[in-house]
Amino acid sequence: MPDLFANNSAPPSHEMQEDDQEGIRAKLARMHPTPYLEGLNPEQKEAVESLDGPLLVLAGAGTGKTRVLTTRIGHILATRRAAPWQILSVTFTNKASREMKDRIGRLIGGSVEGMQWLGTFHSIGVKILRRHAELVGLKSNFTILDSDDQIRLMKQLIQAQGLDEKRWPARQLAGFIDGWKNRGLSPEQVPQDEAFLFAQGSGLILYTAYQARLKILNACDFGDLLLECLRLFREHPDVLSSYHNKFRYILVDEYQDTNVAQYLWLRLLAQSNHNICCVGDDDQSIYGWRGAEVDNILRFEADFPGAKVIRLERNYRSTEHILAAASHLITFNQGRLGKTLHHQIEDDEAEKVTVTSIWDSEEEARTIGDQIEAQQRDGHNLNEIAILVRASFQMRSFEDRFVTMGLNYRVIGGPRFYERAEIRDALAYFRAVVQSADDLAFGRIVNTPRRGLGDATVRQIHALARHQEIPLMEAAAELVGTEDLKPRARSSLKGLLGQFNHWRTMLSTMKHSELAEVILDESGYTEMWQKEKSPDAPGKLENLKELVRSIAEYESLPSFLEHIALVMDRDSGETNEAVSIMTLHSAKGLEFDSVFLPGWEEGLFPHQRALDETGNKGLEEERRLAYVGITRAKKRAKIYVAQNRLIHGKWQNSIPSRFLDELPNKHVEIEETQSTYGGYGASGVGGSIYGKSRFDKSDPFESSYDTPGWKRAQANKANRSKSGSSHGSHTSHLIEGELVAKSVSDGPAKYAVGERVFHIKFGYGEVKSVEGNKLTIQFQTGQKRVVDSFVEKH
DNA sequence: TTATGGAGAATAACG
DNA sequence: TTCTCCATAA
C-alpha cells in the first residue's frame, strides 16, 4: 500500500526537538490544513473526521483500518482538539501499537513520545495501576506474573488445600480463573454454579486464596491488570473522573477481540465524554475461546446511544476472486453486522482461488513445496508467501519437507522468547536480586542449577516463611543461622544467600548488563547449560547471550524487568528471504501475495473441538477463521484437502471441509495435481473418525449433492472422462475422489462381495463389502476402503 | 540427585 | 506417534 503520509513533506525528525510537545503541535499547525486527508476514500475520511461522540468503524479485511486510526489521531492533533497525552489509544498487541506509533510518527513527522497513552490494554492498565497501587492493596513496584508463575502458585495452593493435584490440575484451575477474570468477575462475583465446576466448590476458595496470595507477594497476573483497574475505578470515583478529564479521545483497535473486562474498562473510561472510536471487524473475531465477545461489537450501538457506524468496504488488498470467495463463505454465518467488500484491485489475469485434493499430508507438503519453488523460479519473493495452518501439528510436515528441499522457511509463533525455560530462569535470578521478596523467583531458582537444596530443604524454608509471614529469602537467611538444616544444605544455602547479597551490592556499582552476566556465571547457571550435552543446549546459551545483550538497551535492571513482562517480543530480526509458516490465528493482520491453506478437512478445519464445545457458535468462529485465512492473500489463495491425515500417530481418512462447499463456484478452480498414487481410501481400518452424527444438523454426505462443490466435481468428472486417463496415470482424482463417490453411490454396484481385484498401490485383494462405489477390500497388508475406479477386476 | 519408564495428552495464544 | 510430566528406583 502506498504510504499515506509520505507526501506530507514533513522535515526529517532531527530538526525537531525531542520530547517537546509544542514542537509537534507547532509543526502540525504549519502543515497544510489537511494534507493527510488526501487519498482517503469518502468513508475513511468520514471516519477520520467524525470526532464527536461514539463511533464504530466496521473495517473489513484490507480496507485501511490502521490508516484510519492513525489519520484520525493525526487529525485530532492537527486540529488541536487534544494534546498527544490526552488521547487514549488501545491495541491488543505490542506489534500493533508499535505499528501505530510508527505511522503516527511518520504522519506528524517527529517524535510520538508525547503519546503516553498509546499502548496495549495491559501496558496502559499497568501504568494506571502503578499510579494508584495502594488503593487496591498493592505497592507501586508490584511484579507481573506470567502464566508459568501463575500455574506454579496455583499448584502450591491446590496442595495446601489438600486436593489431589492429579484430579484437579493447576492448569485447569488457571483456565477457570482466567475465564472469570476475562469476564470481569472478582471472587465474590463468581456465580455459584460455576464455583462448583472445579473441585466441588473449592474453585472459588482457591480463587480467593490465589488473589490473597498475590497481594502478599505484591504481584498481579495479566488478568488483574484490568480487573484491578475496574475495582479502582469503581471504588474511587475521584480517580476515575481524573481519567475522564485526562482522556478527551479514546480509540480502540480490533474491538471485536475485546473481552468483558476490557469492555467494562472502556465503558467506564468513556462514560463522561463519549468520544470513543472503536475499529473492528465482526467477521474477523477469532478469539472467542480466549474470552473475546463478538457481542461487544454487535451491541455497540445499544451500548453507546447515538453512536455513528461507518463501514469500510473497499478492499485494497486482494483480487476480485479472493475477495468473492471469502465474502461468499462468510455469508453462511448468522448474526453478522454485515458488510460487502468491494475489490479495488482490477486484474484481468487474476488467478482464481484453487482447491486441490491430494492423497495425504506428505503429498500436501510436497505439492506445496513444489508450488513454492515454481513461484520462486518465477521471481516471487519468498517473504511474500505464507502457509497458514489450523493447528500447529500441521507445521511439521512442511518443515520436514522444506528441510529436505533446502527451502528457506520461518515458523511464526511458537514458544515466545521470554517463555523459554532458560530465559525465565535467568529472569528469576534478576528478579530475586532486585526484589528479595519475590518468592516465586526465588523458589524457581533455589535449586537451579542443582546445589543440593532439594524438596526437604525447600519445604522447611516454606514452612518457616509461612509461619512467620516473611519472604522466602528472609526465612532462608534465618534458617541458615539455626541447626535445623543438614550441614550440606546449610552451607549450600548460606553460599547462595551470600551470592545474592553480593550481587545486590553490585547493583549500584556495576553496569547492569555486566552484572546480569556476572550473576549468570557466578550462580553456575551458564555452566549448567555448558555441561548439558543435549542438542538444544547451545541454542539455550545463545538465547541467554541475547537476553544479556537486550538488557543493555534499558537503563537499569529494574526497568528492564519492568518492561520484559509486558513488551518483550521476539522480532527475530531475520532478514533472509523465507516462506512463513504460521497458524491462521497468528496470521490475522498480515498479508501475502500467495497464501497456501492446507488441511481443509472436517474435524481439522472446522476443528472438531470447536464444534463439540461450542456447537454452532464454534462453527461460525471457524468460518471466520477461514475468512481471515483467505483474505490474507493479495494475489493467490490456494486451498488443499488431504484424503488421509496422520492424527496422533494414526492415519485417518478425512472428509473435505464443509467450507469448500461454501466457496462460490465462479471464483474457484479445482486444480489438478501430480500424484504418486491416485485414489480414495485410507490405510487405516475403521473409516473416518469424523462420523456424520457429530455434525450439528446437516449431514455432509447428504447435503453435498446439490452443493457447488458437488457440481464442480461433476463438471470435472465429465471433462476428465473426455480426456481419457482415469487411473494408473499418476494423476490423482482430486476432490471428486470424495465427491464422485457420493454422486454415484445410488448407481448399480460394479463389484460384488468376494470378487478378486487389483489396486495400483495395494496389490491384489478381495472385496469385503460394497457401499455405493466405495469398496472395503482385504489386501495382504490389511483392510482398506477405496473407490472402485481405483481397482481393476482380476 | 539423576535416570528411566509409564501415563496421559495433543486447537488456537494476546500480555 | 511423540512429547511432557511425574513417580519410582538406583
- pLDDT (tens digit, 9 = 90+) per residue, A356-379? 999 999 999 999 999 999 999 999
Cell of A78: 492537527
Bridge partners for A757 per DSSP: A765, A793
A63 labelled as ligand-binding? Answer: yes
The total domain count for chain A is: 5
Report how far residue A155's alpha carbon sits from residue A149's, in angstroms, rounded to the nearest whole number.
10
Q: Which residues pair with A87 in a beta bridge?
A: A249
Question: Per the annotation, does A62 bind a ligand?
Answer: yes
A58 with A77, same domain: the answer is: yes
In angstroms, the CA A296 to CA A262 distance is 10
What pLDDT is recorded for position A628?
Answer: 97
Return the minimum-mean-pLDDT range out of A9-18, A133-142, A424-433, A590-599.
A9-18
pLDDT beyond 90 at A113: no
- Nearest Cα residue to A253 out of A373, A468, A73: A73
Query: Which residue in A178, A221, A254, A438 is the catalytic one?
Result: A254
pLDDT reported for residue A350: 92
Tell me whether residue A636 is in a domain.
Answer: yes
Helices (DSSP H) in A336-454: which residue ranges? 361-377, 395-405, 421-434, 439-445
pLDDT of amino acid A32: 55
A65 among known catalytic residues: yes
Same domain, A64 and A205: no
CB atoms within 10 A of CB A459: 10
- φ, ψ of residue A7 to 5 degrees: the values are -100, 20
The nt closest to A452 (CA vs C1′) is B1
Q: Is A125 annotated as a binding residue?
A: no
Q: Is the domain of A380 the same as that of A291? A: no
The whole-angstrom separation of Cα A453 and Cα A438 is 18
Per residue in A164-219, pLDDT tens?
A: 777 888 888 898 999 999 999 999 999 988 888 887 778 888 999 999 999 988 99
**Predicted local distance difference test score (pLDDT) of residue A370:** 95
Residue in A61, A62, A8, A52 with CA at minimum distance from that of residue A31:
A8
Positions of chain B reached by protein Cβ under 7 A:
1-2, 10-15
Q: How many CA atoms lie within 13 A of A72 on its CB side?
A: 32
Domain assignment of residue A268, yes or no: yes
Is A254 annotated as catalytic?
A: yes
Which chain A residues 157-176 have CB under 7 A to strand C? 165
* Sole residue written with cell 476514500: A41
3-state SS, residue A654: coil
Annotated ligand binding at A599? The verdict is no
Who's near A498: CB < 8 A, 6+ residues apart?
Answer: none
Residue A626: per-residue pLDDT: 97
Nearest nt (C1') to A147 (CA)? B15
Reply yes or no on whether A290 is catalytic.
Answer: no
Q: State percent of chain A over pLDDT 90.
A: 53
Q: Which residues numbered 432-491 in chain A sit less than 7 A from strand C, measured from CB? A: none
- Residue A520: which H helix or E strand, with range? helix A512-522
d(CA A60, CA A49): 19
Q: Is A583 a catalytic residue?
A: no
CA–C1' distance A535–B3 (Å)? Answer: 18
Å between CA of A154 and C1' of B2: 27
If you average pLDDT over every residue of chain A, what do you get? 82
Q: Supply the pLDDT for residue A418.
A: 81
Distance A142 CA to B14 C1' (A): 21
Please name the nucleotide lying closest to A287, CA to C1': B12
pLDDT in tens, A295-325: 999 899 999 999 999 999 999 999 999 999 9
Q: Which of A27, A65, A431, A588 is catalytic?
A: A65
In this prediction, residues A455-472 reach a mean pLDDT of 87
CA-nearest of A768, A772, A774 to A787 is A774
List, for residues A532-575, the tens digit of each pLDDT value. 777 777 778 888 888 898 898 888 998 898 888 787 666 556 67
A66 is catalytic: yes
> Is the pLDDT score of A146 beyond 80?
yes
Q: Is residue A272 part of a domain?
A: yes
Assigned domain for A465 exists? yes
pLDDT digits (tens, 9 = 90+) for A601-644: 999 999 999 999 899 999 999 999 999 999 999 999 999 999 99
A439 shares a domain with A400: no
- The pLDDT of residue A275 is 95
Exposed/middle/buried for residue A648 (C-beta within 10 Å: 0-12, 13-18, 19+): exposed
φ, ψ of residue A363 to 5 degrees: the values are -65, -35
Same domain, A402 and A460: no
Amino acid A284: pLDDT: 96
Nucleotide minimizing C1' to CA distance for residue A169: C5
Catalytic residue among A224, A253, A283, A601: A253
Q: Is A61 annotated as a binding residue?
A: yes
Q: What is the pLDDT of residue A784?
A: 57
Higher pLDDT, A423 or A285: A285
- pLDDT at residue number A26: 64
Candidates A284, A375, A394, A460; catalytic one: A284
What value does the CA radius of gyration of chain A take, rounded to a whole number of Å? 30
> Nearest nucleotide (C1') to the CA of residue A181?
B15
Residue A476 and residue A548 in one domain:
yes
Q: Is the CB of A648 under 7 A from strand C?
A: yes
DSSP label at A449? S
* Same domain? A384 vs A464: no
The nucleotide whose C1' lies nearest the CA of A608 is: B11
Tell me if A718 is assigned to some domain: no
Predicted local confidence at residue A192, as pLDDT: 86
pLDDT tier, A787 (very low <50, low <70, confident <90, very high otherwise): low
| Residue A535, CB, strand C, below 7 Å | no
- With a CB cutoff of 8 Å and minimum separation 6, the contacts of A605 are A390, A599, A622, A625, A626, A657, A659
Task: Output the CA torsion A51→A56→A60→A65 (10° steps).
Answer: 30
Q: Is the CB of A649 under 7 A from strand C?
A: yes
Residues A116 and A206 in one domain: no
Give the range of the structural domain holding residue A118, as residue numbers without chain letter.
36-142+238-312
Please tell me which residue lies nearest to nucleotide B10, judged from CA to C1': A648
The pLDDT, as a whole number, for residue A420 is 83
Confidence tier at A449 by pLDDT (50, 70, 90): confident
Give A159 or A294, the one with higher predicted confidence: A294
Q: Are residues A370 and A424 in the same domain?
A: no
- Picking from A326, A366, A352, the residue whose alpha carbon sits closest to that of residue A642 is A366
Task: Say yes or no to pLDDT of A779 above 90.
Answer: no
Long-range contacts of A548-555 (CB under 8 A, 24+ apart): A548/A513, A548/A516, A548/A517, A548/A520, A549/A513, A551/A512, A551/A513, A551/A516, A552/A512, A552/A513, A554/A512
From the CA of A613, how many Å to the C1' of B14?
22
Cβ–Cβ < 8 Å for A251, A89: yes
A171: how many CB neighbours lie within 10 A of its CB?
A: 12
Q: Which of A639, A656, A671 is the last residue of a domain?
A: A671
Query: Strands A756-759, A763-771: parallel, antiparallel or unpaired by DSSP?
Result: antiparallel
Is the C-beta of residue A305 closer than 7 Å to nucleic acid chain C?
no
pLDDT at A665 over 50: yes
Q: d(Cα A646, Cα A604) in Å, to the nearest integer?
A: 11
Q: What pLDDT does A762 receive?
A: 55
Residue pair A276/A267 in contact (Cβ under 8 Å)? The answer is no
Backbone angles phi, psi at A62, to 5 degrees: 70, 25
Last residue of a domain, one of A643, A671, A699: A671
**Does the pTM of the predicted model rise above 0.85?**
no
Check whether A120 is labelled as a binding-site residue. no
Q: Are residues A587 and A662 in the same domain?
A: yes
Which nucleotide is the nearest neighbour of A175, by CA and C1'?
B13
- Predicted confidence band of residue A39 (pLDDT cuts 50, 70, 90): confident
- From residues 539-578 of A, which are strand C contacts by CB within 7 A? none
Query: Which residues are A656's β-sheet partners?
Result: A601
pLDDT band of residue A690 (cuts 50, 70, 90) is: very low
Strand C nucleotides within 7 Å of a protein CB: 1-2, 6-7
Tell me, yes or no, whether A53 lies in a domain: yes
Q: Which range has the worst mean pLDDT, A137-141, A288-292, A732-736?
A: A732-736
- Are A77 and A191 contained in the same domain? no
pLDDT, position A778: 65
How far in angstroms lies nucleotide C9's C1' from the CA of residue A161?
29
Give helix A421-434 / helix A487-506 axis angle, nearest 10°.
70
CA of A107 to C1' of C1 (A): 53
Claim to verify: residue A540 and residue A611 sit in the same structural domain: no
CATH number at residue A179: 1.10.10.160
In Å, how far are A120, A222, A576 from A123, measured between CA atoms? 5, 10, 32
Q: Could you tell me the CATH number of the domain that includes residue A402?
A: 3.40.50.300
A425 grid coordinates: 530462569
Residue A431 has pLDDT above 70, yes or no: yes
Please give the grid coordinates belonging to residue A681.
481410501
* HSE (side-chain half, CA atoms, 13 Å) at A443: 20
**Residue A270 in domain:** yes
CATH number, domain of A427, equals 1.10.486.10
> Can you give the pLDDT at residue A759?
58
pLDDT at residue number A776 = 64
Asked whether residue A633 is assigned to any structural domain, the reply reads yes
Beta bridge partners of A311: A58
